Amino acid sequence: MTNPKSAYSVSSKKQKSDTHIIVVWVDNETGVLARVVGLFSGRGYNIESLAVAEIDAKRNISRITIVTTGTPQVIDQIKLQLKKLVPVHKVADFKRNDKSVLFKEMALFKVVGNSNNIKKAINACKKYNAVILDKTKKSNVIQITALRREIDIMAKNLKKFGLVSVSRTGAVAMTRGDKVFN
């Protein structure tokens, strides 16, 4: 009976976790990001990536895109808890493997080395909408937009061509077609 020695119950069996993209429309006011992020840390939810920016200057609305993992129950709680926050207008939730939604992340790669290696690096990036943002004899800054996993792979592969610095954004999302989330 004394096992476990605790005033609390033991955790029950674990459910399968899925990756979700949560999009939150909020009033762009002081502390709003702290409220959203604090809710995640306070309740033990996980944030894989985060992207925030004002999208409507007139109505003062920001859009926060959060990539998170959790069981269906946790994902539901995240949405419902977010909706309770006063500055939150609406909350959308997409599964990462949802085909009707576009997900994109952007990354900047700085490659330093000889022209041959730089060329190889640019070639490798080509299928991800590569844009050369800065160019010197010894270096290049390449911008790509791709999925998280693709950027992970690129960051690994470019090492051999002289990748010295990576900077990347969180994911942003948008539905395909003419549908708008309400």
Partner 1 sequence: MSKIYSGAEIVFKCLEDQGVEFIFGYPGGAVLPIYDELKNHNSIKHILVRHEQGAGHAAEGYARSSGKPGVVLVTSGPGATNVVTALTDAYMDSVPLVCISGQVPTHLIGTDAFQECDTTGITRPCTKHNWLVKDIKDLSKTLHEAFKVATTGRPGPVLVDIPKDIQFAKTSYSKPKDKKKLNGKSLNYFSQKNIEELIDLMNKSKKPIIYSGGGVINSGPEASEVLRELVELTGFPITSTLQGLGAYPGDDNQFLGMLGMHGTYEANNAMHDCDLLINIGARFDDRITGKIDEFSPKSKKVHIDIDPSSINKIIKVDLALVGDVKDVLKGINKTLKKKNINLKKSNKQKIAKWWEQIQKWRTKNSLDFKNSDVTIKPQHAVQRLYEITKDKDTFITTEVGQHQMWAAQHYKFNKPNRWMTSGGLGTMGYGLPAAVGVQIAHPKKLVIDIAGEASVLMTMQEMSTAVQYNLPIKIFILNNQYMGMVRQWQELLHEKNYSESYSEALPDFIKMAEAYGCKGIKADKPDELDEKIKEMVEFDGPVIFDCRVDPNENCFPMIPSGKPHNQMILGPSEKKENKITGKGKALV
| Site residues (vs partner 1, CB under 8 A) | 1-10, 12-13, 30-31, 34-35, 38, 42, 73, 76-77, 80-81, 83-86
Nearer of residues 13 and 99 to partner 1, judged by Cβ: 13
d(CA 126, CA 142): 10
Nearer of residues 145 and 181 to partner 1, judged by Cβ: 181
* Contacts of residue 105, Cβ cutoff 8 Å, sequence gap at least 6: 49, 145, 146, 147, 148, 151, 168, 169, 170, 171, 172
Nearer of residues 2 and 100 to partner 1, judged by Cβ: 2
Nearer of residues 30 and 97 to partner 1, judged by Cβ: 30
| Residue whose C-alpha is closest to residue 40's, from 61, 19, 8, 67 | 67
Per the structure block, which two tokens stand in for 13? 């069996």
Do the beta carbons of residue 21 and residue 65 sit within 8 Å? yes
Q: How far is the CB of 29 from partner 1 (least distance, A)?
A: 9
Q: How far is the CB of 38 from partner 1 (least distance, A)?
A: 6
Hunting for tokens 């992020």 — which residue is that? 37
Q: How far is the CB of 87 from partner 1 (least distance, A)?
A: 8
Q: How far is the CB of 26 from partner 1 (least distance, A)?
A: 13
Q: How far is the CB of 181 from partner 1 (least distance, A)?
A: 16
What is the number of helices (H) and of strands (E) in the chain?
4, 9
Hunting for tokens 């290696």 — which residue is that? 117
Per the structure block, which two tokens stand in for 123? 């070639």
Nearer of residues 33 and 141 to partner 1, judged by Cβ: 33
